[in-house]
Structures are given as C-alpha cells and as structure tokens.
C-alpha cells in the first residue's frame, strides 16, 4: 500500500472533490438529499459509538448476540466446503462482532486469511494491532478503501474460495433496488460456491424501530446535524445548524425507516461559493435504514444469484445473519 505523503494528499483532494460534487448534486435536486456514508467523520464516528450504546438502539446488541452465542452455527454455515478460504469483511471497523468468529476459527485450526476492508485506515491499523495481540496465528491482510475497489483487489489476490461478510445492517442504508444491485455486483465478483453472509435488520414492532432512530436524548439528531457541520468545515459552507431539525419516519408496510432534516425557516446557504436556497419546512433526505421481512431477503438472494444456506437470528428474532451461497 502506498502511504507516501503525495498519494495521501491526492487521495484527500480527490475525496474532497467527490464530496463537494455529491453535496451540490444532492442539494440541487428535489427533494434535497445527502448521502449517509458521509456521516462518519471523526465526530460522526464518536456519535455513532454513542448511538450503539443507547438502550433504544438494538441492532448492535442483536448481531452481537448472534456472533457471540451462535458462533458455531455461523462457522458451520461458512464451512460448508473444505479447504482454506479468504474471509473478506466489507466495512470491518473494529470487527467487534466478527472477532468472535475469528477466535472460533483459529481455535479450531481452520485455515483462512482475514481480509478486513474499511474506508478508515486509522480503524484498520487499530484492528490489525488488536488481532496481532489477541490471535497471533491469524493471517490478516487489511485493505483500505471503497468496498468494490478493495473487493476487486481482494479477489485478484485470492487463490482460494471466498467468504464475504457484510454485517451491521449496513445493507439497510440502500434503497431496496440499490441493495439488489449491490448484491448482484457482489455476486459477479464471486465464484459459484462462494459464500456471502449479510446482516439484515428485520421488520418488528414499529414502536421499537422508531425509538431506535429518534432517541429522546437527541443523539441521533446530533448524528444527522453533524453532517452539516462537516460540510461547513470541509467544504467551506455556512450552514446555521440551529436552523435545522431532525425528523424521523418509519413505514412498517414498506419497512423504510427514513431520516430527514427540516429547514426551520426560509434560508440561504453558501457552499464553496454556490448558493443553495431552502424554503421554510423544506426537507433534506438524509438516510434510509431499511427493515426486511424473511420474504424480502429470500427474493433479494434469489434475484441476485444466491441460494440461502441458513439464517441465524438473535434470541428476540429482531435481526438475522443470512448465509448465502453463490449459484
């Protein structure tokens, strides 16, 4: 990996250009929108950490329950074929959940290489150090960058069968159609027999869903508003943060849980010299956190070229880790 200053600088510059284009595009359209993938700057990472610690935010606890208490079932699912394999994790972060699986595989002398992919080089180096300490026998090849770019690199490096992890309910941050294209694009990079394990947040009592995304302490609101602060800081913009308010919806029929910011007055914001007008009560569409039925998941697997090998749920049946095989 090239870490020279020049490359780092160019990467940063390229990132800022893409970020600016996405923001101007998104706020130039109707309805206005921003991409939730930009939530995660340093402050955003910290706020998401706080969200995961809230009693209302059940997703992390549920998937942790699966990886901690049903490790053997997960391993059985991905070990449906013999021989060494590459375990590729998309958006590995600190691998809080997958480290239970890694520990299990190492203890049982299962030959594999762990390839964590993440956009944050910082979190990857923390993770690599942590794993070196905890599981010194484990082969780790961290890849820093965007999902598919790094997946292509992982695939080109890989000589064995592949198991891909996509955890945390991150697939819910895509519209259904987009999620389907994502799975199909993943399938194209895999061989017949390879495994994809995806974490889906399930449809459940709508009160429980809505509460997870509209906490009374306002942490989720701060998490959304932080993107405006990030735009101010990184893109030379002048958002008045107090001029916007968080608003959350959940439609239990479609399973779409959507997050908006509402402009509290008619206002004008300058972003890198470009003027954006907001009407009173105009919305910015910030994030979708889609909830799925078993049927939704079955359809998505079949349509994108997989068959479902197994589904491992947490004890409340609120979240599922679905194990798919490429057909």
Binding site for ligand AVJ (CB under 6 A): 51, 59, 168-170, 172-173, 213, 220, 223, 287, 289
113: left (phi over 0), alpha (psi -120 to 50) or beta: beta
Considering the complex, state which of residue 227 and residue 269 has its C-beta at the smaller distance from ligand AVJ: 227
Output the CA angle 55-60-62, nearest 5 degrees: 90
Task: Enumerate long-range contacts of 242-245, CB under 8 Å, 24 or more apart.
Answer: 243/267, 243/278, 244/284, 245/221
Output the CA angle 202-318-146, nearest 5 degrees: 55
Q: Find the shortest distance in angstroms from Cβ 59 to ligand AVJ.
A: 5
Distances (CA, A) of 249 to 174, 206, 212: 16, 10, 11
Q: Find the shortest distance in angstroms from Cβ 127 to ligand AVJ.
A: 17
Considering the complex, state which of residue 205 and residue 280 has its C-beta at the smaller distance from ligand AVJ: 205
Is beta strand 256-263 parallel, antiparallel or unpaired with respect to 244-251? antiparallel
Considering the complex, state which of residue 43 and residue 155 has its C-beta at the smaller distance from ligand AVJ: 43
Q: Find the shortest distance in angstroms from Cβ 298 to ligand AVJ.
A: 21
> For ligand AVJ, which residue has the nearest CB?
289
Q: Find the shortest distance in angstroms from Cβ 178 to ligand AVJ.
A: 13
Distances (CA, A) of 289 to 40, 144, 194, 216: 15, 25, 27, 19
Strand partners, 257: 250
Q: Find the shortest distance in angstroms from Cβ 289 to ligand AVJ.
A: 3
Considering the complex, state which of residue 162 and residue 246 has its C-beta at the smaller distance from ligand AVJ: 246
Considering the complex, state which of residue 10 and residue 205 has its C-beta at the smaller distance from ligand AVJ: 205
């Amino acid at each position: 990996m090239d870490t020279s200053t020049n490359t780092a600088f160019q990467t940063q510059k390229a990132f800022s250009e893409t970020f600016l284009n996405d923001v101007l595009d998104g706020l130039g359209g109707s309805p206005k929108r921003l991409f939730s993938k930009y939530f995660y700057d340093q402050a955003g990472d910290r706020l998401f950490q706080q969200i995961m610690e809230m009693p209302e935010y059940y997703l992390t606890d549920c998937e942790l329950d699966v990886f901690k208490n049903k490790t053997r079932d997960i391993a059985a699912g991905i070990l449906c074929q013999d021989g060494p394999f590459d375990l590729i994790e998309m958006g590995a972060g600190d691998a809080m959940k997958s480290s239970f699986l890694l520990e299990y595989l190492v203890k049982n002398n299962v030959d594999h290489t762990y390839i964590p992919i993440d956009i944050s080089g910082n979190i990857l180096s923390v993770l690599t150090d942590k794993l070196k300490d905890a599981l010194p026998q484990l082969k780790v090849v961290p890849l820093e960058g965007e999902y598919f770019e790094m997946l292509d690199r992982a695939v080109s490096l890989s000589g064995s069968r592949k198991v891909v992890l996509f955890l945390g309910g991150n697939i819910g941050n895509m519209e259904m159609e987009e999620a389907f294209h994502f799975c199909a694009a993943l399938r194209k990079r895999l061989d017949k027999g390879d495994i994809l394990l995806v974490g889906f947040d399930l449809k459940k009592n709508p009160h429980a869903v809505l509460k997870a995304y509209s906490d009374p302490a306002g942490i989720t609101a701060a998490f959304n508003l932080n993107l405006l602060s990030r735009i101010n800081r990184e893109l030379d913009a002048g958002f008045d943060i107090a001029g916007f308010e968080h608003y959350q919806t959940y439609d239990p029929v479609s399973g779409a849980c959507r997050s908006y910011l509402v402009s509290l007055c008619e206002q004008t914001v300058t972003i890198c010299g470009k003027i954006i007008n907001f009407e009173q009560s105009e919305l910015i569409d910030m994030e979708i956190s889609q909830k799925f039925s078993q049927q939704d998941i079955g359809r998505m697997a079949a349509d994108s070229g997989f068959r479902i090998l197994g589904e491992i749920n947490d004890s409340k049946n609120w979240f599922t880790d679905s194990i798919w095989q490429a057909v």
